[in-house]
């Protein structure tokens, strides 16, 4: 655990390093702030011994100005260190958050299939905010209060080393208590962060699926689920705060034993003449002043332990290496010239085998359809072609190049993808269409919308192409969402088009409009079409039929119908189901 903590501290310092000049300046401000506390105690000593006892009017007139001046300097330095440390903390968190977000963008789809979105959001927000508190507050307090403690302890030793040793005798007990409570707090903080991640997941999942929640009248169920998760978080948080809240009062209680003895022993020395009244008053003032920075250091310890728990979760993701990454010397493909070839491709998700010995080709200009029942591996073939995953066995070639040797960006620049789960952003229709080509002109955007048969319904909307469609396009029908997604892919003008059941969510009218668009646009384009409705792929140049992850048939529609095999069985089954509805 100590190695983990040290590793987190070391990584945090690498983010602080670019701002070392401001950090040094902040440290100087902290040193002066702490040092001036000791100067103030020295004034108290002189106030008693040289002013009150000696009745020195000149010094009495001078000391108030010195007190005001010292307080002013303390205020300036304290402001400087607080502002600088907060700036550094915010900047470091800004860098960490951006680094984490960028790293998440590079991670493979396999990571996101195993990690709930809510937990990812929690690490980007809650955990990093906790780290920010430690950076902007804890580091500053450690240095400032640490300097104050050192200065005050040095002054106490100067005043009376015997009393100082008695005072310091309780320090090991304070350190032991603080360490034990801090370790417990760190464990509880990790639990709190996990509970917050679970709560965030519930929120994200519920509101992203709000239509289903309402359609099935599950509002009460979701409220209870949220309430239970909130209760779990509340209990964990209160347990954590209970431990954190114990540190300061327990330190205070232990310190009180030492203070009580020092009052008796020091008072006895003043009475016996071994110590001046001014020294005793200044010593007690210093001892009591020592309590505040010691208590603050105890509080800081709790903040640091919470930050360590959050840092573990943040750096855990930053330590993950993407499964899919560019080779050291990638082949850059600027255009698709010949063919795509699947050679003995097998693939599994975790331990579940999805594809087995897949072999087929897609020649340039061909429309190849992939059909089969749910779970046959149709979408997996599209994911492998886009290199969201790599095959476990075999290889996929594009113009003779293994995809694992091809530059990922250049490969995906060749592709246009429309998925069965339409993904639109909380933005305008215009920006959603131009998402893959932000430099596109207005004319190009409109032409793409027309080609996808989307222009007519867009024009009828209140703000036309500048209409906001809300998250996941909730203001649009399923058919309208699909046409926007197809327009987005078409604007990119890809060499290879992947349609993953692009008409599966459409009504008859929308499907007709899409089929018209596809028949016009796919004539001179290479396309991989994953089809649910077999009636939509009759004109495909090649139909690949999957069953249980294997290719069982391949050919054109008419050829496969004549064979009376599995394709014909699926086609007739679907035809009967359609006729009955």
Domains located in the chain, CATH noted: 2-318 (1.20.1560.10), 336-414+500-507+529-554 (3.40.50.300)
Phi and psi at residue 138, to the nearest 5°: -65, -45
* CB-CB contact of 360 with 368 (8 Å): yes
Q: Kindly report, residue by residue over 300-343, the tens digit of the pLDDT.
A: 766 777 777 788 888 888 888 888 888 889 999 988 999 999 99
Cα separations in angstroms, 490 against 202, 312, 452, 465, 560? 36, 43, 8, 17, 30
| Inter-CA distances, 393 with 244, 359, 388, 551, Å | 53, 12, 15, 16
Question: What values do phi and psi take at 505, rounded to 5?
Answer: -105, 15
CA–CA separation, 148 and 154 (whole Å): 10
Where is 569: in which H helix or E strand? helix 566-580
| Number of continuous H segments (helices) and E segments (strands) in the chain | 21, 10
- Report whether pLDDT(208) > 80: no
Confidence of residue 131 (pLDDT cuts 50, 70, 90): confident
Residue 417 phi/psi, 5° resolution? -125, 130
Return the structure tokens found at 59.
Answer: 């010094």
554: closest CA among 304, 305, 371? 371
* Averaged pLDDT of the chain: 80
Q: Which residue has the tokens 């032409």?
A: 447
Give ∠ CA 112-115-121 in degrees, rounded to 5: 95
Of the listed ranges 65-74, 208-217, 261-270, 372-381, the least confidently predicted one is: 208-217
Residue 459 structure tokens:
């024009």
Enumerate the β-bridge partners of residue 353.
Answer: 348
Q: Which of 500, 484, 332 is nearest to 421 (CA)?
A: 500
- From CA 542, how far away is CA 556, in angstroms rounded? 5
Among 274-283, 315-324, 537-546, where is mean pLDDT lowest?
Answer: 274-283
Residue pLDDT, tens place only, 34-72? 777 777 767 766 666 666 667 767 777 777 787 788 888
Q: What is the pLDDT of residues 434-446, one digit of tens each?
A: 987 888 899 999 9
3-class state of residue 319 by DSSP = coil
Query: Which parts of 109-218 fold into alpha helices (H)?
Result: 109-114, 117-122, 128-133, 139-159, 161-168, 171-208, 210-215
Provide, rounded to the nearest whole percent, the portion of the chain with pLDDT above 90: 13
> How confident is the model over 363-385, as pLDDT tens digits?
998 989 999 888 888 889 999 99
- Where is pLDDT greater, at 408 or 118? 408
Question: 3-class secondary structure for 220-285?
Answer: HHHHHHHHHHHHHHHHHHHHHHHHHHHHHHHHHHHHHHHHHHHHHHHHHHHHHCCCCHHHHHHHHH
C-beta separation of 571 from 534 below 8 A: yes
- pLDDT band at residue 4 using 50, 70 and 90 as cut-offs: very low
Reading the block at residue 79, the tokens are: 């402001």
SS3 content of the chain, % helix, strand, coil (to 5): 70, 10, 20
The pTM assigned to this predicted structure is: 0.70
The partner residues of 345 in beta bridges, in order of sequence, read 358
- Rounded to 5°, angle at Cα 497 from 392 and 415: 65
Q: Tell me, what's the pLDDT at 3? A: 43
Instruction: Pick the more confident residue, 581 or 225.
Output: 225
Task: With CA atoms as reference, report the closest residue to 465 among 485, 442, 481, 486.
Answer: 442
Burial label for 34, CB within 10 Å (0-12, 13-18, 19+), is: buried
The residue among 542, 566, 568 whose CA lies nearest residue 552 is: 566
Report the C-alpha gap between 213 and 156 in whole angstroms: 67
For residue 304, what are its two tokens?
């640091």
3-state secondary structure of 422: coil
End-to-end CA distance of the chain: 63
Quick one: pLDDT at residue 120?
81
Mean pLDDT of 19-31: 86
> How many angstroms separate the CA atoms of 91 and 364, rounded?
50
What are the two backbone dihedrals, phi and then psi, of residue 359, each rounded to the nearest 5 degrees? -135, 115
Confidence band, pLDDT 50/70/90 cuts, at residue 392: very high
Distance CA 96, CA 290 (A): 35
How far is residue 8's CA from residue 548's CA, in Å, rounded to a whole number?
A: 47
Strand pairing report for 352-363 and 393-398: unpaired
d(CA 284, CA 278): 10
- Residue, of 88 and 13, whose pLDDT is higher: 88
Mean pLDDT of 406-426: 84
Adjacent-strand bridge partners of 500: 530
Reported confidence tier of residue 400, pLDDT bands at 50, 70, 90 = very high
Give the pLDDT of residue 360: 94
The encoded tokens of residue 34 equal 């702490």
Residues 50/91, Cβ–Cβ less than 8 Å: no
Give the integer Cα–Cα distance in Å for 363 and 385.
14
Paired with 396 in beta bridges are 342
């Amino acid at each position: 655990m100590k190695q983990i903590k040290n590793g987190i501290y070391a990584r945090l310092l690498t983010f602080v390093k670019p701002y070392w000049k401001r950090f040094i300046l902040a440290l100087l401000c902290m040193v002066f702030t702490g040092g001036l506390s000791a100067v103030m105690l020295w004034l108290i000593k002189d106030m008693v011994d040289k002013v009150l006892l000696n009745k020195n009017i000149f010094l009495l007139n001078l000391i108030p100005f010195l007190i005001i001046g010292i307080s002013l300097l303390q205020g300036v330095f304290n402001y400087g260190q607080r502002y600088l440390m907060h700036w550094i903390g915010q900047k470091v968190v800004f860098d960490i958050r951006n680094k984490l977000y960028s790293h998440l963008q590079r991670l493979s789809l396999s990571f996101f299939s195993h990690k709930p979105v809510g937990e990812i959001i929690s690490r980007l927000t809650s955990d990093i905010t906790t780290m920010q508190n430690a950076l902007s507050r804890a580091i500053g307090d450690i240095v400032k209060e640490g300097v104050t403690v050192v200065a005050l302890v040095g002054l106490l030793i100067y005043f009376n080393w015997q009393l100082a040793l008695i005072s310091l005798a309780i320090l090991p007990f304070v350190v032991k208590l603080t360490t034990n409570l801090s370790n417990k707090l760190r464990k509880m903080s990790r639990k709190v962060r996990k509970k917050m991640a679970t709560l965030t997941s519930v929120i994200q999942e519920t509101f992203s699926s709000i239509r289903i929640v309402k359609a099935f009248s599950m509002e009460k169920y979701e409220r209870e689920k949220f309430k239970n998760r909130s209760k779990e978080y509340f209990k964990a948080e209160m347990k954590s705060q209970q431990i954190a809240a114990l540190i300061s009062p327990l330190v205070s209680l232990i310190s009180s034993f030492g203070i009580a003895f020092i009052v008796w022993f020091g008072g006895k020395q003043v009475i016996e003449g071994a110590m001046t009244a001014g020294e005793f008053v200044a010593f007690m003032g210093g001892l009591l002043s020592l309590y505040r920075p010691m208590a603050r250091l105890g509080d800081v310890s709790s903040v640091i332990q919470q930050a360590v728990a959050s840092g573990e979760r943040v750096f855990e993701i930053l330590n993950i290496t993407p499964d899919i990454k560019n080779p050291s010397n990638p082949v850059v493909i600027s255009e698709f010239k010949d063919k795509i070839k699947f050679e003995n491709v097998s693939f599994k998700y975790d331990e579940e085998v999805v594809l087995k010995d897949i072999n087929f080709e897609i020649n340039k200009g061909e429309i190849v359809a992939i059909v089969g029942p749910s779970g046959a591996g149709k979408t997996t073939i599209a994911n492998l072609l886009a290199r969201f995953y790599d095959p476990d066995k075999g290889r996929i070639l594009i113009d003779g190049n293994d995809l694992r040797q091809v530059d990922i960006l250049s490969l995906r620049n060749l592709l246009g993808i429309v998925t069965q789960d339409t993904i639109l952003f909380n933005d305008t229709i215009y920006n959603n269409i131009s998402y893959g080509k932000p430099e596109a002109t207005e004319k190009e955007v409109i032409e793409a919308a027309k080609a996808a048969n989307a222009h007519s319904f867009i024009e009828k909307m209140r703000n036309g192409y500048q209409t906001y469609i809300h998250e996941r396009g909730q203001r649009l029908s399923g058919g309208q969402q699909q046409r926007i997604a197809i327009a987005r892919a078409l604007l990119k003008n890809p060499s290879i088009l992947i349609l993953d059941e692009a008409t599966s969510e459409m009504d008859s009218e929308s499907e007709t409009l899409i089929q018209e668009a596809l028949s016009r646009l796919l004539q001179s384009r290479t396309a991989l079409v994953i089809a649910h409705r077999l009636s939509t792929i009759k004109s495909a140049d090649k139909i690949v039929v999957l069953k249980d992850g294997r290719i069982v048939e391949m050919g054109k529609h008419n050829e496969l119908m004549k064979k009376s095999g599995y394709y014909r069985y699926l086609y007739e089954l679907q035809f009967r189901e359609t006729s009955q509805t």
